[in-house]
Copies of this chain bind each other. A is one copy, B any other.
Amino acid sequence: MSRVPQHGLPMTLSVGEVARRSGVAVSTLHFYETKGLIRSERTVGNQRRYARAVLRRVSFIRVAQRVGISLADIAAALATLPVTAAPGREDWARLSAAWRAELDERIAQLKKLRDALDDCIGCGCLSIDRCRLRNPNDRLGDDGAGPQRLLVKK
C-alpha cells in the first residue's frame, strides 16, 4: 500500500484508502475538497495524500449531514477549527456541543409534531381546518382573512 514507518501506521492516506475507511466514494472526497471541507497534500506524482485527521473530518461531516445540516453550514463550522495541524479535543468538543444543540432542537420539533399527530389520530383532525398541527400558533382556522401559517418555515 504505502510506505510505512517502523511501527505500522502509514503516515498519510491515499484517496482510495480514505474512501474505504470512511465509507464515502472517492468522487465524494474530491467533491468535499472542492467545497473546502477537507484538504490534501500532493505527491510528486500529483496524487492526493491525506493526514489521518481527515478521517475525523469526514466522520464529522457525515454525522452532521445525518442530522440534516447542509454542507455549507458544516463547512462554516469546520472553518472555525484551527487551520494549524491537529485540532484538539476542545475544538471537537466545541463543535460537538453546537451540534448537540441543533439536535436537541430538531428532536423537540419532531416531538411536538408527533404529539400533535397523536391528537389528530384520535380525532381525525388532520381533516379539520383548525387542527393545531396545521396551525400551531393557535391562530384561527382557515376561513379567517389572513394567510394561514404552516409549521414549515423554510
Binding site for B on A (CB under 8 A): 8-9, 20-24, 53, 55-56, 59-60, 62-63, 65-68, 87-90, 92-93, 95-97, 99-100, 103-104, 106-107, 109-111, 113-114, 117-118, 120-121, 123-124, 126-127, 129, 131, 133-134, 142-143, 147-152
Contact = CB atoms under 8 A, between A and B. Distances in A.
A21 to B, nearest CB: 5
Contacts of A65: 152
Main secondary structure of the interface of A (DSSP, over half): helix
Given A96-B121, A120-B92, A120-B96, A59 B150 contact: yes
B21 A152 contact: no
A56 to B, nearest CB: 5
Contacts of A114: 100, 103-104, 107
29 contacts: A8-B143, A21-B147, A21-B148, A22-B150, A23-B148, A55-B129, A56-B129, A59-B133, A60-B126, A62-B150, A63-B151, A65-B152, A67-B113, A87-B127, A88-B124, A89-B123, A89-B124, A89-B127, A90-B124, A92-B124, A92-B126, A92-B127, A93-B120, A93-B121, A96-B120, A97-B121, A103-B113, A104-B114, A106-B110
